[in-house]
Chain A
Amino acid sequence: MNNIKKLIFLSLLVSLGLAISILESFIPLPFIAPGAKLGLANIVILSTLIIFGYKEALTVVILRSITFSLATGSVTSLFYSLTGSLLSLLAMYFVYRFLSKMFSVIGVSIIGAIFHNIGQISVASIMMENVKIFSYLPVMNLVSLFTGYFVGLSTLYTTKHLKKIFNL
């Protein structure tokens, strides 16, 4: 794949991730823990990680977080989303790169969701100077089992077709 094609596709992925994040903020999961989200933007990030690699996924993550906080207009959410998604990307990269014989895409996605929770809760507890916020973590991890499974399944089908398009 030549450079321009790659550039265009990456920017498409960033805008797709942004659009999904904004859409997702309209449909919260009201019934469970506060702040629980579907994490659909992770489909985009995980697909980028699988199709392109770590560097490209990092670009998409950082650009998506910055554009998302620009779109919603809150600076504090930049810290939450950036820390959460960077930590989750790091975890997903290591699992996908070194343990891909053990875990399928679904497992990678679940691990990403868990580390996203850990990152966000750490930022929240540092910002509020209150360690008790970690008491949300068990509930959030249980929720992210389901969302992570769904995201992993979606990524599996997405990357299957993307690989066909790019003849990888």
Chain B
Amino acid sequence: MTKWDKYLIFFIILSSIIGFSIVRSDIGKSDYKYIKIAVDGKVIKKITFDKNMIGKTIDIRTQYGYNKIEIGDGKVRVIDADCPDKLDVKQGWISKPGEIIVCLPHKLTIEIVGENEADDEIDGISY
């Protein structure tokens, strides 16, 4: 370990903390949020949070594989998948706008979007 190694470690810790706080501040505090599910970059489903939706599960079957999503009270998680490592299942619940679950083998992203960053208006619940 030279002193430059220590500088490097310090710099990386600092930049990670800065990056982390930027990510945090990017996460909006808007009340209105919805779930955006995309496969291979194309949005396939948008789901708004609703009391009727709590506890509901959604199957997503694509050419890449199968994922099962559970919706909770303002949060969402993946409960089952047939990808080899099941990292999306291990990640657990996400609830804040800007948070994202990624399933690399299936090219699937599940994202929570806040009102202010929505780029198009939603006409209704598509479920």
For residue A120, which residue of chain B has the nearest CB?
B104
Q: How far is the CB of A109 from chain B (nearest CB, A)?
A: 10
Contacts of A139 in B (CB 8 A): 16, 20
For residue A126, which residue of chain B has the nearest CB?
B41
Stretch at the interface among B49-57, B67-75, B84-92: B84-92
Contacts of A142 in B (CB 8 A): 12-13, 16
Q: Which of B12, B88, B98 contacts A145 (CB 8 A)?
A: B12
State the majority secondary structure of interface residues on A. helix
Q: How far is the CB of B98 from chain A (nearest CB, A)?
A: 7
Q: Is the CB of A135 within 8 A of B41?
A: no
A80 to B41, CA, bound (A): 17
A101 to B9, CA, bound (A): 17
Q: How far is the CB of B116 from chain A (nearest CB, A)?
A: 15
Q: Is the CB of A103 within 8 A of B105?
A: no
Knowing A28-B85, A107-B5, the reply to whether A129 touches B20 (Cβ < 8 A) is: no
Contacts of B2 in A (CB 8 A): 102-104, 107
Contacts of B12 in A (CB 8 A): 110, 114, 141-142, 145
A102 to B111, CA, bound (A): 42
1/0 per residue, CB under 8 A from B, across A20-42: the answer is 00000100101000110000000
Knowing A35-B104, A124-B104, A132-B111, the reply to whether A110 touches B9 (Cβ < 8 A) is: yes
Q: Is the CB of A145 within 8 A of B104?
A: no
| Chain A interface size, under 10 / 10 to 19 / 20 to 34 / 35 or more | 20 to 34
1/0 per residue, CB under 8 A from A, across B1-36: the answer is 110110011001101111110010010000000000
Q: How far is the CB of A142 from chain B (nearest CB, A)?
A: 5
1/0 per residue, CB under 8 A from B, across A114-135: the answer is 1000000000100111101101
Q: How far is the CB of B108 from chain A (nearest CB, A)?
A: 8
A104 to B2, CA, bound (A): 6
Knowing A76-B105, A127-B107, A142-B13, the reply to whether A107 touches B100 (Cβ < 8 A) is: no
| A111 contacts B by Cβ under 8 Å | yes
